[in-house]
């Protein structure tokens, strides 16, 4: 019995996904668990695994096409088994019922190239077919605007334009580059790097960022941390970042606008607080989430973050872990960085950049003392909220971290 490949739900609010790239061709063998396609959601490009073993028998939804979650996009099965009828597969708009008397096609049945597909043959003009062939366009993906839904040359060209604008890695037409000057090294970007490049550029292009900064006195927190880790006895270690995550999660509970997304002139406040912690990998950066962080204890957060870092390095994160984050925390403290400003990861509307904890001279009660100081920068989407709220958020965060016992509650 053939296994259906279904557009997966890869995020709690995911409604549809785009098949960015098939990693297997029809006829290729597939092992259970092997990555079979790259699915693009509005949050990330994610690999999906095969849930069955066999051969990729049929691709129903081709690269570049977006379908609702749950739709069958292909079949895995034995090389010779019959595939179930796929009457449920919605026909592309281009498939007008095979044109009646107008049928200009003088093609003898023996010559018919197009596979008999569920919705019938695609109606496309000769030049449209020629172009589609040359430009590697799957006609089923194209919307036809000619009479009777015929795909015209314009339609194919419009599709190619759209495909260029879409960030599918499958596209990549080699632009004839100027010959590199001697000694210059040209680096091919990894999938992850490309995805980051695209997402960050889009973020900066569309989100009006502004930044609010505060220096937090972490002296008490560092003391508490030491004591905690001694008490825990080595099984789990609580890090500075874990405490920050806990504090941020609690603060987000009180400032829900920072746990939201700006979509089409509306702000969607998320019910779950999923804090993404940025983890550096060889090939780039990933920010898997500690889900429901505001309902986890500090120790649970510590365990979760350790586990995430471990699995991130092994490359075995679950898709929902990095597609459902609502607020990211990036910590560059380990590099002794004083402070920095991050770029908000869409569709989030805020993020926290964390610097190193360093002994600094500060003024307390009119006297200069040395305290463990850490500067954080809150990055905010100005469409959602503004400076005053940012200030209040940081005030709350700072209060939590400067009275760290509250983190144990």
Partner 1 sequence: MATITYREAISGALHEALQADPRVFIMGEDIGDYGGSYAVTKGFLKEFGPDRIRDMPIAESVIVGTGIGAAMGGMRPVVELMTINFSLLALDQIVNIAAKIHYMSGGQITVPLVIRTVSGGGNQLAASHSQSLEGWFASMPGLRVAVPATPYDARGLLRTALKDNNTTIFVEHSLLYPLKGEVPDDWYTVPFGKAEVKRQGKDVTIVSYLRMTQVALRAAERLAQEHGIEAEVVDLRTLRPLDVEAAVESVKKTNKCIVVEETWRTGGFGAEVVGQIQEAAFDFLDGPVMRVAGKDVPMPYARKLEQAAIPSEDDIIRAVKAPA
The answer to the question of residue 126 lying near partner 1 (CB under 8 A) is: yes
Bridge partner residues of 47 (DSSP): 38
Preceding amide of 293 cis, omega within 30: no
Q: Which of 60, 128, 287, 329 binds partner 1 (CB under 8 A)?
A: 128
Is 382 considered catalytic here? yes
Number of CB atoms found within 10 A of residue 99's CB: 16
Residue span binding partner 1 (CB under 8 A) among the ranges 28-36, 126-134, 174-182, 269-277: 126-134
Crossing angle (nearest 10°) for helices 387-402 and 219-232:
50
**Which residue has 């190239």 as its token pair?**
113
**Which residue has 């909220």 as its token pair?**
385
Residues 6+ apart with CB under 8 A from 293: 245, 246, 248, 249, 273, 274, 275, 301
Q: How does DSSP classify residue 207?
A: S
Nearer to partner 1, 23 or 99 (CB): 99
Is 270 considered catalytic here? no
**Whether 343 contacts 379, CB under 8 Å:** yes
The answer to the question of residue 98 lying near partner 1 (CB under 8 A) is: no
Q: Which of 104, 175, 205, 266 binds partner 1 (CB under 8 A)?
A: 104
Residues within window 142-181 making contact with partner 1, judged by CB under 8 A: 146-147, 150, 152-154
Q: Closest approach of Cβ 140 to partner 1, in Å?
A: 19
Positive or negative: CA dihedral 273, 278, 296, 409? negative
Locate the DSSP E strands across 182-265.
209-217, 260-263
Q: Closest approach of Cβ 311 to partner 1, in Å?
A: 53
The answer to the question of residue 114 lying near partner 1 (CB under 8 A) is: no
Q: Closest approach of Cβ 150 to partner 1, in Å?
A: 7
Nearer to partner 1, 147 or 227 (CB): 147
Nearer to partner 1, 60 or 128 (CB): 128
Do strands 29-30 and 54-59 pair parallel, antiparallel, or not at all (unpaired)? antiparallel
Residues in contact with partner 1, total (CB under 8 A)?
A: 13
Residue span binding partner 1 (CB under 8 A) among the ranges 49-57, 80-88, 122-130, 225-233: 122-130
The answer to the question of residue 125 lying near partner 1 (CB under 8 A) is: yes
Question: In the complex, which residues of this chain contact partner 1 (CB under 8 A)?
Answer: 104, 125-130, 146-147, 150, 152-154
| Active site (catalytic) residues | 382, 386
């Amino acid at each position: 019995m053939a296994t259906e490949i279904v557009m997966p739900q890869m995020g709690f609010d995911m409604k549809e996904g785009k098949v960015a790239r098939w990693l297997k061709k029809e006829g290729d063998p597939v092992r259970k668990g092997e990555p079979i396609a790259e699915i693009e959601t509005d949050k990330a490009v994610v690999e999906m695994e095969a849930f069955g073993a066999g051969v990729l028998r049929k691709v129903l939804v081709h690269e570049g096409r977006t379908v609702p979650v749950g739709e069958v996009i292909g079949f895995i099965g034995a090389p010779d088994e019959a595939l179930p009828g796929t009457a449920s597969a919605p026909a592309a708009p281009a498939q007008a019922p095979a044109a009646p008397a107008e049928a200009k096609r003088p093609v003898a049945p023996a010559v018919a190239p197009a596979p008999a597909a569920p919705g019938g043959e695609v109606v496309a003009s000769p030049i449209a077919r020629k172009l589609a062939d040359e430009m590697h366009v799957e006609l089923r993906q194209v919307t036809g605007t000619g009479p009777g839904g015929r795909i015209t040359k314009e339609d194919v060209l419009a599709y190619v334009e759209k495909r260029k604008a879409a960030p599918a890695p499958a596209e990549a037409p080699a632009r004839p580059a100027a010959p590199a000057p001697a000694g210059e090294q040209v680096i091919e970007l990894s999938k992850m790097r490309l995805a980051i490049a695209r997402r960050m550029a889009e973020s900066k292009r569309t989100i009006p960022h502004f930044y609010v900064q505060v220096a937090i006195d972490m002296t008490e927190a560092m003391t508490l941390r030491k004591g905690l880790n001694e008490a825990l006895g080595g099984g789990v270690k609580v890090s500075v970042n874990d405490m920050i995550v806990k504090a941020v999660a609690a603060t987000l509970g009180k400032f829900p606008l920072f746990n939201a997304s700006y979509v089409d002139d509306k702000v969607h406040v998320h019910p779950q607080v999923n804090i993404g912690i940025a983890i550096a990998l060889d090939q780039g950066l990933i920010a898997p989430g500690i889900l429901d962080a505001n309902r986890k204890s500090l120790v649970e957060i510590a365990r979760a973050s350790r586990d995430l870092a471990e699995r991130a390095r092994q490359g075995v994160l679950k898709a929902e872990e990095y597609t459902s984050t609502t607020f990211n925390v990036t910590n560059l403290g380990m590099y002794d960085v004083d402070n920095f400003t991050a770029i908000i990861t869409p569709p989030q509307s805020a993020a926290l950049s964390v610097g190193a904890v360093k002994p600094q001279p500060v003024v307390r009660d009119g006297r200069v003392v040395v305290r463990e100081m850490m500067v954080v920068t809150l990055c905010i989407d100005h469409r959602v909220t503004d400076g005053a709220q940012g200030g209040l958020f940081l005030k709350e965060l700072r209060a939590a971290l400067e009275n760290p016992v509250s983190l144990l509650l």
